[in-house]
Structures are given as structure tokens and as C-alpha cells.
Structure 1
């Protein structure tokens, strides 16, 4: 329960536009810090576009930017878990295999969100190795979902899920680049 409250508070403070469906606001703040930080990541464009749309990114340091990106990853993982749960409800009752795989995938994306939440605590204590480990774990959970589909040859891996998987992995790669830079 405590982790759900923490996630809600993080998302409501850092990402109000996700919660209230408000349009994104572009800020002309400290783009230099954002650009310098994003140069250390694998997906520069994703990094810059994610950070420049967040009003708090102009009032923070590199660790704060990493926390914002972790929040983006948590939002992605949570939204994917919710998406899978909704697919589970709409799956025909006569397809128990698909229901089983969707339930497993929803759980894996929930675990990814939890791992990212753990990395927030690690960053707060400057335990960069542990933060890196948790983000790596979050990045790997979608593989378990893909593997669940592979166990059943008749099930096709949905393209929407593949897109979401790539998104989470790219976000995690951005965070990992930031953590590498923080640990120097």
C-alpha cells in the first residue's frame, strides 16, 4: 500500500499532465543542463523531449533530471500494466492461455515500476550501483513478458506491446546513462 501511495505522489507531483490529461507545456528553462545531461545517454532525442516538457526540469540538477526520467519510466510501466489488465478483461473467456500470459505480463510491468521506484530511493542515498541495478531490472522485465508469449507458439506478440516494451527499454537506457554520469 505504501508503494502505491508513493507512486501516486510522485506521479501527481512530477507528472500532473499525465494525470489530468492537460496539454504538454514546453519550458525554455535551463536547456543547456538538459542537453549536457542527455549527451551522456543512448537516446538523446527521447531524453531532451521528455525533460523539456516537464516544468520541474528547469529547477533541478542532473540527479533531479534522472528522477524525472525515472518517473517517466514508472508512468510507462504502470500504464502498460493497466493496458494489459484491460486487455485481460476484454479477452474471450474461452482463451485461458491468453489470459494467463496477459496476467503474467501485467505483473512483470508492475514489477518494472516497483524496480524503478526502488531506484528513486537509491538515488536519494547516492547508492548509484544499486540504482543502476534496479533500472537494469526494470528494463529486463518486458523480456519475461515477450518470453511468455514465445512459450505458446499459437500466441502472437501484439505490436502494441512490442512498442510499449521498446519505449520502456529506451527510457531505462536514458536513465542508465544519467546514473553512469552521476557515479563519476
Structure 2
């Protein structure tokens, strides 16, 4: 279960301890990540996975999809069991957080579907699933906008940004598979 906090720790660890990286096909990983707008996130994520050393571009996309899935699952768990829910007596806030948890659960399902589509080389469908997963956080944010008295928690905003970035990287990798 990867959260944005874990991604930050992963990035710092990789910067301070370069031996953390797997000695994979660095040329393919670098080439793949150069086609994305979040190069450092892409590079650290792919190099930290032991299976990347033997992966082709499709394999790298699957690794990134699994990372996105773990991230969405982590956010869902955070929203479902975190102190955000337990420490509020506001029924509207509890219901809104539950609705957001459901959005991230749906994002996880879409990402799980994308892994299957990637394995089957149905890249257009995989892309659509990832695009949907990247949009579910917007639905969560919009839920908060419906209730002006509720403040969108910064803990969710940071995690939302992390998932969107991972999905952006994944969509750009999938673009490379299509062309």
C-alpha cells in the first residue's frame, strides 16, 4: 500500500542510497521515463522494483499500474480507517469521507482492470481505465465542493496529487506502447 508519504520516502531513499536501485535495463527505463512529465517519479518507481530488470516496455507499464493500484488502495484505507473519520462527530463529514473512500475503491478497480488489459495488450482499454482512475480523485474533491462548510483535508489533497502523477506516468508509458 503506497501512499504519497511512501513515495516521498522512496524518492529520498533512492537519492541518498543509490544502491537501492535494481540493476535493470537502465537504458530502457530511462528512455521510457524520458517520455513522461514526471521523470524522477517514473525512474525511482521503476528502478525500485526488482522485476524491472527483465521487463520490456509493457512490463514497465504493468509495474507502474501495480504501483498506482497500491496507491489507490492505500488512499482508500486511509479514508476508511483514518482519524479523519474517527475524530469527527460531523455526520456530513463522515459521509463525505466514506463517499471519497468509495471513489478511491473504484479507482483501484479501474487500475486492476488496466493491469489485465495491459497483459492482454489491449492498450486502448488499459488507457481508458487509467484515465478513469486518475479522475476519481476529482469526484472526491467535487463531493467536498458540494458542501461549502466542509474543508477538503490537505491529507487527501496530497495523496490525490500522488495518484494523479502516477496515473499520468502510466498513461504516457501506455502511449508509447500504442505508437
TM-score by structure 2 length? 0.86
| Runs (5+) with no aligned partner, structure 1 | 1-10, 12-17
- Matches of residues 26-175 of structure 1 in structure 2 within 5 Å? 26-87=21-82, 89-92=85-88, 94-175=89-170
How far apart, in 2, do the equivalents of 1:103 and 1:91 lie? 14
Paired residues of 1:91 and 1:99 also in contact (CA < 8 A) = no
Runs of 4+ in structure 1 off by over 4 angstroms are: none
Paired residues of 2:110 and 2:132 also in contact (CA < 8 A) = yes
TM-score by structure 1 length? 0.84
How far apart, in 1, do the equivalents of 2:165 and 2:85 lie? 28
Which is further off, 137-146 or 121-130?
121-130
Paired residues of 1:66 and 1:179 also in contact (CA < 8 A) = yes
Paired residues of 1:62 and 1:182 also in contact (CA < 8 A) = yes
How far apart, in 1, do the equivalents of 2:119 and 2:45 lie? 21
| Deviation string, structure 1 residues 72-118 (Cα, Å, up to 9, x no partner) | 100110000000011364133x3100011000000000100100111
Count of matched residue pairs: 163
